[in-house]
């Protein structure tokens, strides 16, 4: 490749990586669902057609589940276009990524693979190995019965346990199962007690058919709920009087917990301030790990403007990412200064409001003489427009040409019109962000986005990420 071709390839890979981290094909504040999907589909097709190896390598990055599934689907559908070496690498990355995807998303993916008519030996082996690695096949059979049966039939995979085969393909063949969960499913057809031995999502359907009172059902099924199910239903259970539904918020992932907090009314957040703050800080400490306190003096510019509401389908998602980053940076930094665009100082009581004076907040941040500035914003600087870019231009050209202060922009929103996350300035490292837990790795990835990185450096970085991704279990 020429120098110019290398530069274009580097820019394309980083553009796609940022899109794969942030874009989900859903409506955003500034663009609709169809525009998001069309833009994302174009990027996937472009990358697969021009940089198959680099396209595959993005499976090892912190991309979201939606784009991981799209990449896997395209690689399987176009397997005949790959070399033997490419197929080996793709197979390992696909197998590892499938282990990390939620099972319901895997079953939807396998249905799309079947609809695309893909049924080659490699795909059958991938499905066989994935199913063999499932920790509880009986749980999958009960929760995802149709998806599992379809996947096994299409890929000619035989269940290792004969009871599982009967359950999926001939459920009336047995009058009793020795596997407890399968027997609970059978018994739930005849006795109310059996409903409470099933996973919540399955039991809910049985409860509705049997006319079980909602309050009674929530109280009885609480021990079977996952943490996420508890989080979603905690307030619902309280409204129905099932007050014995309990959960430890400190065990929740940081960004998901931030979304939960922002969904609460302001007066409830104020009333539960100690509980919610400690839970967020506990989650942040877990996310920071060994990096705790190693980032020196950090100033953060955090966007809580009206656009941080997101959309009806991604309600308050950008603000949740900013709130989670706030608590994580507080742990990572030795000294920490948070600056919200609204000017508010109480992060726990934040809500989307007002314009986005990123330029003014950036001046305030730089005035604290930090070692590092982290900006978490969708990049729509509008009060006044373009001030942040001008501040950064003057800063780099006149005040800090040596780059003593590290400045990085993390953007939680994909800009469908420009096929990338919106940037504040070309000189500032920028990366998309989906969850605050990925912040340390994304700060590292962002350093490649300023146009001064050679393709060889990026390729080496991706190779290292692939090695770490495949070796981590």
CA torsion 423→425→429→430, rounded to 10°? 0
In this structure, are 222 and 355 located in the same domain?
Answer: no
User: Once rounded to an integer, what is the mean pLDDT over residues 384-399?
Assistant: 93
In this structure, are 431 and 303 located in the same domain?
Answer: yes
Most confident residue range from 205-214, 335-344, 410-419? 335-344
Count of C-beta atoms within a 10 Å radius of residue 75: 22
Is 346 a member of any domain? yes
In this structure, are 374 and 230 located in the same domain?
Answer: no
Is 419 a member of any domain? yes
Residue 285: exposed, middle, or buried by beta-carbon count in 10 A (0-12, 13-18, 19+)? middle
Q: 209-255 pLDDT, tens per residue?
A: 888 888 888 888 887 887 777 776 765 555 555 444 455 686 789 99
Is 132 a member of any domain? no
> Which domain CATH number covers 407?
3.40.50
In this structure, are 318 and 418 located in the same domain?
Answer: yes
In this structure, are 304 and 381 located in the same domain?
Answer: yes
In this structure, are 393 and 423 located in the same domain?
Answer: yes
Does 335 have pLDDT greater than 90? Answer: yes
Does 450 have pLDDT greater than 50? Answer: yes
Last residue within a domain, chosen from 199, 218, 247 = 247
Q: What is the pLDDT of residue 4?
A: 67
Is 278 a member of any domain? yes
In this structure, are 234 and 281 located in the same domain?
Answer: no
In this structure, are 241 and 261 located in the same domain?
Answer: no
In this structure, are 240 and 321 located in the same domain?
Answer: no
Is 57 a member of any domain? no
Q: What percent of the chain shows pLDDT beyond 90?
A: 54
The model carries a pTM of: 0.86
Is 149 a member of any domain? no
Last residue within a domain, chosen from 228, 247, 266 = 247
User: Once rounded to an integer, what is the mean pLDDT over residues 395-424?
Assistant: 88
Confidence of residue 352 (pLDDT cuts 50, 70, 90): very high
Q: What is the pLDDT of residue 242?
A: 47
Question: What is the Cα gyration radius of the chain?
Answer: 24
Q: 70-99 pLDDT, tens per residue?
A: 999 999 999 999 999 999 999 999 999 999
In this structure, are 222 and 276 located in the same domain?
Answer: no
Q: 160-173 pLDDT, tens per residue?
A: 788 888 888 987 78
Count of C-beta atoms within a 10 Å radius of residue 159: 18
Is 83 a member of any domain? no
Is 41 a member of any domain? no
In this structure, are 300 and 446 located in the same domain?
Answer: yes
Q: Domain of 225?
A: 191-247
Number of domains in the chain: 2
In this structure, are 306 and 438 located in the same domain?
Answer: yes
In the numeric block, which tokens belong to residue 358?
A: 């990123």
Last residue within a domain, chosen from 247, 273, 293 = 247
Q: What is the pLDDT of residue 452?
A: 63
Q: 291-316 pLDDT, tens per residue?
A: 999 999 999 999 999 999 888 778 89
> In this predicted structure, which of 20-29, 130-139, 177-186, 274-283 has the lowest mean pLDDT?
20-29
């Amino acid at each position: 490749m020429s120098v110019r071709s290398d530069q274009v390839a580097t820019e394309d890979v980083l553009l796609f990586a940022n899109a794969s981290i942030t874009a989900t094909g859903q409506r955003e504040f500034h663009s609709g669902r169809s525009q998001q999907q069309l833009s994302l589909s174009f990027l996937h097709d472009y990358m697969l057609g021009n940089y198959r190896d680099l396209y595959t390598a993005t499976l090892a990055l912190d991309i979201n589940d939606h784009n991981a599934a799209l990449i896997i689907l395209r690689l399987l559908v176009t397997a005949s276009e790959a070399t033997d070496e490419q197929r080996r690498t793709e197979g390992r990355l696909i197998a590892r990524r499938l282990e990390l995807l939620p099972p319901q998303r895997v079953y939807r993916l396998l249905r799309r693979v079947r609809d695309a008519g893909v049924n080659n030996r490699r795909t059958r082996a991938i499905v066989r190995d994935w199913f063999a690695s499932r920790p509880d096949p009986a749980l999958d059979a009960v929760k995802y019965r149709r998806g599992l049966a379809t996947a096994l039939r299409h890929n000619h995979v035989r269940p290792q346990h004969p009871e599982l085969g009967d359950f999926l393909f001939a459920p009336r063949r047995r009058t009793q199962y020795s596997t407890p969960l399968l027997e609970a499913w059978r018994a739930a057809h005849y006795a109310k007690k059996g409903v409470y031995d099933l996973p919540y999502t399955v039991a809910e359907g049985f409860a509705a058919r049997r006319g079980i009172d909602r309050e009674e059902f929530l109280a009885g099924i609480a021990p079977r709920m996952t943490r996420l199910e508890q989080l979603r239903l905690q307030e619902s259970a309280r409204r129905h009087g099932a007050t014995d539904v309990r959960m430890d918020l400190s065990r929740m992932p940081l960004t998901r917990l931030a979304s939960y907090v922002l969904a609460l009314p302001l007066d409830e957040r104020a009333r539960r301030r100690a509980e919610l703050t400690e839970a967020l800080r506990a989650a942040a400490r877990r996310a920071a790990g060994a990096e705790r306190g190693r980032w020196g003096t950090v100033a953060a510019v955090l966007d809580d403007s009206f656009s941080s509401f997101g959309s009806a389908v991604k309600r308050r998602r950008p603000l949740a990412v900013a709130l989670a980053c706030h608590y994580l940076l507080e742990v990572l930094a030795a000294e920490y200064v948070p600056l919200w665009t609204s000017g508010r100082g109480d992060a726990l009581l934040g809500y989307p409001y007002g314009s986005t004076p990123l330029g003014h907040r950036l001046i305030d941040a730089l005035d604290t003489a930090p070692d590092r500035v982290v900006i978490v914003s969708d990049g729509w600087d509008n009060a006044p427009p373009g001030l942040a870019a001008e501040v950064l231009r003057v800063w780099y050209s006149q005040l800090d040409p040596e780059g003593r202060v590290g400045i990085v922009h993390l953007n939680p929103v994909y800009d469908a019109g420009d096929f990338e996350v919106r940037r504040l300035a070309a000189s500032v490292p920028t990366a998309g962000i989906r969850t605050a837990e990925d912040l340390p790795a994304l700060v590292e990835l962002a350093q490649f986005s300023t146009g001064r990185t050679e393709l060889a450096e990026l390729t080496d970085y991706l190779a290292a990420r692939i090695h770490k991704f495949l070796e981590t279990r």
